Amino acid sequence: MTKPSILVLFLISNLLCIANGFVISIDDTKVFSRQSALFGTRENREITTLADPKIENILMVECGFGNDSHGQNATKAAKRACRNAIEFNSLSIKRMVPGGYEAMKLNVILAVPKIYQDTLEVEEVAKTFPYGDINFVVQDGGMIAPSGRVIESLGDKNDDMLIVCAAVQVGY
């Protein structure tokens, strides 16, 4: 898909939502990217499609899930999912990736319940990762389960418990 046609889709999409001037909605699949130097300046963002091979050489894929039991905040659940995916690993990036940390790429695929995708701030989720150029792909998924309790002091608007799944591709 050419970039102009993506832009047209972007404009007409009825799922259009903008958070932090950063969220792009393309039909049911939202794609975000952060092209950055080490530790991520927030420059040069790109619109990409799922078909774009974001990482030519995928070394590993780490999977995780995270919840937000109270408050219906997909950002919180997504951060936990990403942490869950990466937290038990120690990678020798300098040995694995030609060019080391500066050449490392991450493609973070998140499955988020559709009705809560507007609460997802990918800038915030990006902070979970200390290194690498990050691209985000957000698709419908995850899970909503009733917690059985509405605790207003924790931000609950209802008893939906949000579960987000993450697959983190690491490569270069």
Cβ distance to ligand NAG smaller for residue 25 or 84: 84
Q: Which of 53, 76, 56 is nearest to 65 (CA)?
A: 76
Nearest-angstrom CA–CA distance, 69 and 64:
16
Cβ distance to ligand NAG smaller for residue 3 or 127: 127
Query: What's the min distance (Å) between Cβ of 51 and ligand NAG?
Result: 30
Chain centroid, CA 99 distance in Å: 24
Query: What's the min distance (Å) between Cβ of 109 and ligand NAG?
Result: 17
Tokens representing residue 13 in the block: 């999409």
Tokens representing residue 145 in the block: 């389960």
Cβ distance to ligand NAG smaller for residue 25 or 67: 67
Taking residue 122's Cβ as centre, other Cβ atoms within 10 Å add up to 22
Which stretches of the chain bind ligand NAG, using CB under 6 A?
66-67, 69-70, 73, 75-76, 79-80, 84, 124, 155
Query: What's the min distance (Å) between Cβ of 82 and ligand NAG?
Result: 10
